[in-house]
Structure 1
């Protein structure tokens, strides 16, 4: 008997799909000519913008040289003569001053101490302050030759600056109204009694333990309006 051909299954159907176009750049990395044209255009626009900005800065539209206002020249200042400041401390050397003498009723003399009370070993420092209470400048002899400091307790005088004074000077001072003039260097009291007989020898110490003393100052015959009280311990 003749042999029958073997039945083979039908071959499977092969589907074909459309191939999508790749958007990736070419393998060699080059971009399309359109990209390069856009980049050149952007660079050109940037250059144009810079040039326009520079021109606007230089030209400054809306302004003209005729409208510019020049600053007025600075006013010339003339040096005024320096005014002499009023004296505030008493001179320590002989001086002379021109002017009308002070009226004693228009001169305020004040006795001054550096503290109100002094412990053992502390020495009072004595000064004077002089003020012209009038309306006009006047002249006063405020040198040490015209000053006298007096320390007393009760009715007893314990110390006078004139008892053993040396190198006294006359110093004419112009007193400006309302400007106090004070001692340049205070007198230091060593807490002893004074007399013309004890200028070179030992002196007796004054009582302390809370004893009260009063300082009075006279300048050119004008006494201090009030005494200055202080205590010694």
Structure 2
């Protein structure tokens, strides 16, 4: 039977084992620390070129050449508004101050079997062209003898029409188709009558006045019926 080891021997063994464990733990800690330090202090990664990097020769963009058509100097014709042109505006409506209206009878006197033919004359006394409705819708012929009104063209007018006419500056135009007076007294109530009163002849004097577009003739024209 082997002799029993003393307590001192056990203590020394425990101390040795404990020391070995401490050394191993210390080595393990050092190893872990070294690995961590190596990973943290490793080489920097190479930079990846970005789009802002200097382009390679194959991607080099040639320097821009100024475009003559894109000169910085503004084009006066394109940027400066010129005066508004009125050349294409066309004639404007005539005014009473611009147009002279004249009553026209084809003769100064008429035989017993002859009917007066009546017209309107317009003179543009202004220095510019103007337009006017010269249709029958705007025309009115009136024949009087003294204070007696014998005939009005509007009393029995049929199918009136419009006609816009340009009157040149300084020009005179006259009715293309005259109105014929049948030498009878007119009335809106006797348009279809066949026995209307006839105007006396024998050298009786009558006066013609006209208006068109609201413009009145300046003076009446006188004629005689025989």
5+ long unaligned stretches in structure 1: 1-97
* In the alignment, structure 1 residue 180 sits paired with structure 2 residue 197: no
Number of aligned positions between the proteins: 136
Distance 2:109 2:115 in 1: 10
**1:136-195 CA-partner distances (Å, limit 9, x unpaired):** 111111100000000001111100000000110111111101111111111111100001
* In the alignment, structure 1 residue 166 sits paired with structure 2 residue 173: no
5+ long unaligned stretches in structure 2: 1-89
* In the alignment, structure 1 residue 204 sits paired with structure 2 residue 203: no
Q: Compute the TM-score of the two structures, normalised by the length of structure 2.
A: 0.59
Distance 1:177 1:208 in 2: 41
Which residue in 2 is equivalent to 1:219? 212
Structure 1 residue ranges, 4+ long, deviating more than 6 angstroms after superposition: none
**Partner secondary structure for residue 93 of structure 2:** coil
Which residue in 1 is equivalent to 2:185? 193
Which residue in 2 is equivalent to 1:142? 134
Which residue in 2 is equivalent to 1:104? 96
Larger radius of gyration: 2
- Using the TM superposition, give the Cα deviation of residue 221 of structure 1 relative to its aligned residue in structure 2, in angstroms: 0.5
Distance 1:124 1:160 in 2: 14
Q: If each structure's helix is expressed as a fraction of its own residues, which one has the higher value?
A: 2
Distance 1:220 1:100 in 2: 15
Q: Compute the TM-score of the two structures, normalised by the length of structure 1.
A: 0.57
Distance 1:105 1:153 in 2: 29
Which residue in 2 is equivalent to 1:84? none
Say what the alpha-carbon RMSD is for the aligned residues: 0.9
What are the equivalent positions in structure 2 for 1:62-77 lying under 5 Å apart? none
